Amino acid sequence: MANDNTPALEIRDLHAWYGESHILHGVDLTVNRGEVVTLLGRNGAGRTTTLRAIMGLTGTRKGSIKVNGHETIGLPTHKIAHYGIGYCPEERAIFSSLSCEENLLLPPELKSANAGKGMSKAEIYDMFPNLMERKQSQGTRLSGGEQQMLAVGRILRTGANLLLLDEISEGLAPVIVQALARMILMLKKKGYTVVMVEQNFRFAAPLADRFYLMEHGAIVERFAADELQDKMPVLNELLGV
């Protein structure tokens, strides 16, 4: 088991391909335990591919990806998950034919020294009261925001303590975005580690401890939250924020 000083996620010289297309070009990043880190960048910069590569969902990968101190670059996705990592893709991927509660009952707990104890249904309903009200509703009847809450809740049921969240605020009403922001702050207080890919800079800026800026499949800037103001000219130029 990793000691307390071991980063939750450590990536060195990561290259990734989809077929013949070389998407990631030597990505280096470190995420410490209990941090919220945001990957910023334009569409096509390689942010989602970075999350997918961590989970083994791209084609060829080269380099090093350590999750809680364990090298995972050569492992299949189902084994990577057992190191306490959970991925919430942009498309949410809930089981639409099942009820909200049935979706929450599906995920198995990760039996691993690196995973924590999965959250109970009661804890998830406490975090997301909307899901409690809709627990018998079929997935197709849930709003986009409720589906997003359910997708995150399902990961928390497994005991994953390193969460990869891809554009969780996209297309959602402001009141739901605020609920998701409260959720991230609550998870941080509980000691979870979060890596977010976000287009919504206003959502991500107050939540993250550190930022990585990607361009053309590589990290071009890295800075802490207290440096954000100084970096705004660069962000304006590259992101138009």
Rounded CA separation 199/58 (Å) = 21
3-state helix, strand, coil in the chain (%, to 5): 35, 25, 40
- Residues 123-182: pLDDT tens digits? 999 989 989 999 999 988 988 889 998 999 999 988 899 999 999 998 888 988 998 999
Q: Is the pTM of this model over 0.85?
A: yes
Helix 144-158 × helix 174-189 angle, to 10°: 10
* pLDDT score at 93: 78
Contacts of 72 (CB under 8 A, 6+ apart): 54, 56, 65, 66, 79, 80, 83
pLDDT reported for residue 1: 44
Task: Provide the residue count of the chain.
Answer: 241
Q: What is the pLDDT of residue 111?
A: 61
Amino acid 200: pLDDT: 85
What does the pLDDT read at residue 91?
80
DSSP, collapsed to helix, strand or coil, labels residue 88 as strand
Beta-strand (E) ranges in 75-207? Answer: 85-88, 162-166, 193-197
Q: Kindly give the parts of the chain with pLDDT less than 50.
A: 1
CATH architecture, domain 9-239: 3-Layer(aba) Sandwich (3.40)
